[in-house]
Chains A and B, each alone.
Chain A
Amino acid sequence: MIQLHKNYSLPDALADTVPVKVVSVGGAGLNALDRIVLDGLEKASVVAINTDVQSLTSSVAAHKVQLGRTRTRGLGTGGDPELGYEAAVESADEIREALTDTRMVFVCAGLGGGTGSGAAPYVAHLAREAGALVIAFVTLPFTFEGKRRATQAREALGRLNEIAHSVICFENDRMGDLVAPQAGIHHAFAMADTTISQSVRSVVNLIQRPGLIRIGFDDLLAALRVRNGRCLFGFGESDSDNRGHDALTQALKNPLMDRGRMLADATNVLVQVSGGAGMTLSEVEVLMQELGRHVNEQTQILFGAVVDGKLGDRLAVTIISSLAADEDLISESRDGATLSNVFAQPPVREQHPPPQIHIEPEAAMEPVAHEESISFEQPVAVQATPAAESMPGESEPLPVAPHKKAVPHTDEKAAAKSVPAKQEILQFEPVTRGRFEKSEPTIVEGEDLDVPTYLRKNIKVK
């Protein structure tokens, strides 16, 4: 693998934009997508998929796909994943069409309901079939929504875990930590949407933004390598005087982070720091030092830094990592997998050539791993055979591996190129702080207040 790194020399154009699509499935997914679009996401196109026409029409997404025109006739699925799945199968062609020409697909869905649980795994499957890397962002329902929805969600999660390259899963219950107890329920749901929106946007930015120290898809996969594990995700942004600290605190405050305590056990932690032109080296240094206290000494920190003028005074920190599954989680998702085989899988078998893509890496990708095009452009020719579903477990690491090889060229090169050009943007400590030279700087709104005002405002004295 390492040798492949060296041999690769791809045109830089590739490094600039990876076609990315954000696909949302089901009502909750749509809500999240609206949030994402409203929050602004430039470098990716969005597709809304749902059975319910009403919610589709009210969505702000540009590209919409209605599932199951004849199955559900524009209504919802009534919380039935099988119906959701069937509806998705009926509209398979439309979904395929929507997913063409893309190398990365983010599937957002709220698991537990009909469309989200039923159709999302199928959409993920189609996306993989189209040769894209698939990352799923899903939410598990609140406990108060009932056991049935929880079981449906687990089943769907189990299937997604098999299909998608990685799954970032948010438990809605944990959102409760973010919301003040007396806040309205809409607030809690909105917070769930916001969290998904933040994570999708930051992952897209992570991959799309040309960095000083670039983070590539390989790094991302490395950070998420632990399968069935628990994804740790944190995003923080701040423009306060102590923005490095504040952004990090905010990131660690994310419900998936458990205030950074979880980080202690992670083996790979991916950190990206992005800021406007005013981001200073010392800021980054302090921030990373602070983060260092939360992680183990053995932990590998995959670090990325990005200077993006659009951020202005803000400084953003994205932390992604994963933990090996704790027992209960493992049994949950394992349960989910087996359950899905027993109960929810039947429709899969009846309806369609089984959507089992795991054999695809084994059969098709492994031998061609040395070719550059690998899976991106190659529509997967090998349609799955029914036998494939027998070994979901072993096939999992494989899809990770080939892509690991495929992506490095996008980052190492770019990083090497851009570093010398942009290095001078980083400001070092100004020399004129007088008696405050050695004290903790007072940085408010990005200005070092210890430097005399007249100097900062360029007003001539004398």
Chain B
Amino acid sequence: MQQQIQSMMERALSEVAQATDPDALEETRIEYLGRKGKLTSLLRGLGSMDAAERPAAGQALNRAKEAVKVAVDERVTSLLSAQDDAPLTIDLTLPGRASRPGSLHVLPQIIEEICEIFHGMGYSRAVGPEVELDEFNFAKLNFPDDHPSRDLQDTFYVNDAVVMRTQTSPVQLRYMQEHEPPLAIVSPGRVYRHEQIDASHAAEFYQIEGLFVDHDVSLADLKSTIHAFIHALFGEDKKLRFRPHFFPFTEPSVEVDLWWESDRKSGWLEIMGAGMVHPHVFANAGYDPDRYTGFAFGMGIDRIAMVRHGIPDIRLLYENDLRFLRQF
């Protein structure tokens, strides 16, 4: 019996040693150690042996099983490790399989960025119609009827009383008519000017308007707000200049210049208009100009996009060539 066990173990160990793949090894394992395996069957034969011989034979059998099991495990590990280490022979330089990512248009991107900055400064977004009453686009914003200040903005007319808004400023009025101060809003949107289109002029483009109204708001508040905003958008190191200007709906009015340095040109760049809300505009919105003061500001999104990204021609923004769109 002992001999039988010994020779079977040796056979098993030799088969294990010769196995070349884990599947064959598994078969060998089952052949000897499985429920109906050769070694396992010997164990069943123990019952018919002499009681005196049984313990020794049992021990030998267990030792043999253990030895085969260890050999199998070791062989599996060594075979797997050889298999795991086998190099994969594919061309690693072939292109991957992927769909191209899309892109967000640079104009709405900048609008979102600006709104996000102002959101952090306590501003909420307001919207208004693009087809607007002349009254809201001009008259109530303190553009006198038939006055040269109307020449500042060439207008598309729908009829005598209705225009394509030339600025986002009418949203100020509409918002104030429905809300009480204190308030802080930004209003991005599309505006229309009856202008011949060229590299720097579009007839449809984007503006963003801001309005802040409370008791005792001053020019110092305006300057502080613009500084905080420009620094957030363009960087803390940016220099600004505030110079007097004229807008019918603000007084005092300012124009804000940004010191811009690029490979092509360095200098002051007109970036936005702003000012203290004109008392007439407050009155037209139903506010008491003696109770409230406030400031408003507005800027062209297209211009900011062009400056920031070095886009040479405004028409590129509206052509929607995918080679352009995917750059931003």
Physical interaction between A and B: no
B residues sitting closer than 8 Å to A (CB atoms) are none
A residues sitting closer than 8 Å to B (CB atoms) are none
